[in-house]
Each structure stands twice: as structure tokens, then as C-alpha cells.
Amino acid sequence: MIYDISREMFSTPTFPGDPVPETWAHTSFDKPEPDLYQVTVMKITGHTGTHADAPRHFLPGGKDAAHVELSHCIGRCRVCEHRGELTAEDVRRMTAGGTERLLIKGDITVTPESAEEMVRAGLLALGVEGMTVGAEGTIVQIHSTLLGAEVYIIENLDLSGAAAGEYFLSALPLKMAELDGSPVRAVLTDLP
């Protein structure tokens, strides 16, 4: 079974203050004299829709989207459900048994303590349904903690169709040099 856990890029709300994505036809079948092929131009940020943050998003000189560790973006993962503030104890419970990739279903707020616990636990990737990790006032600290340890952050997931449990995750960024984030097509598959 394949679970598409991505949101549609152009209908997903953007982070407050970010540009709204746009598309327009460069060539089109819909002209009075139709073109022979259609090419659509996109105007998006690297943080449009379901996306991954590269270390460069918060760390000057950090890795860009083309150079994140691909082994962090693909492999066995655990989906857990939680609502509200995430504590260090919650992280210990969710990562028990050596979980390296953690996707959290629900409206959560990552705290500085829980981000530090994720790093201590050796987490390779954290995925959330919200637009960002952290709350106002802690967003920079939490991103810096996670991205500084090369914990791959995937935001704007749609986990509504995936029950809590163990899966195989694929959420690869596009190979775009010098960008601080990248849209991803994130999917889960059942384990054999």
C-alpha cells in the first residue's frame, strides 16, 4: 500500500509573509493559434506545500537542498500521534527502540527541550503536519538545533490517511543547488 502524505502545492496555504505560488502558461494549447506543446512556468519558494528544510534555511553556510544527506530522507520511519506541546519525555517514548525517522500526526509544538532530545536520540528526520516546527519565539532556536545536527525537517505533511505505526518513508528533496528548502513528494509504504 502507498500512502501519499503530501499536500497539493498550489492550494496549500503559505507561511504568513511568504509569497503565494503562481503559475502561468509559457506555451499553451488554449491560444487562438495553439502551440504544439504546453509549458507552464511556476513561481514558488523552496517552502511551498509539503517541503523539506535544508540546513541553509537557518544556518549561514549550511548545506543546501541539493546536498542534504539522502539517507535521512528515505528509510524506515515511525508515525506517532500527538497534540499540543511536545516534551522531551514524549520524544523518548516516540523514539524508543531506535527510531531514526519520526513523523508526528496532529497539531504539535516542538519545544527546545524536545528538539534537543531528538538530536540526542540520533533522529535523522522529523516530519510534521504544521507549516513549521516550534512556536513564535522559538522557531529559530528549534530549527537551528535540528538543522545544525542535520535532522531533516519535513513540514506540511498530510498524515490523515496513515495510522500510527511503522512504515517506509520516501521524501526526497529536488536537487536544487543554493536553495534553503525544497518541495517534496512524500510517500509512505507498508513494511513487508
Known active-site residue 57: yes
Return the ∠ at Cα 180 (arms to 16 and 73), rounded to 5°: 105
Using DSSP's 3-state secondary structure scheme, residue 189 falls into: strand
How far is CA 155 from its chain centroid? 3
The span from the first CA to the last CA of the chain, in angstroms, equals: 10
Which of 57, 72, 82, 143 is an active site residue?
57
How many other CB atoms are there within 10 angstroms of residue 163's CB atom?
10
Return the ∠ at Cα 156 (arms to 75 and 2), rounded to 5°: 45
Q: Which residues are catalytic?
A: 57
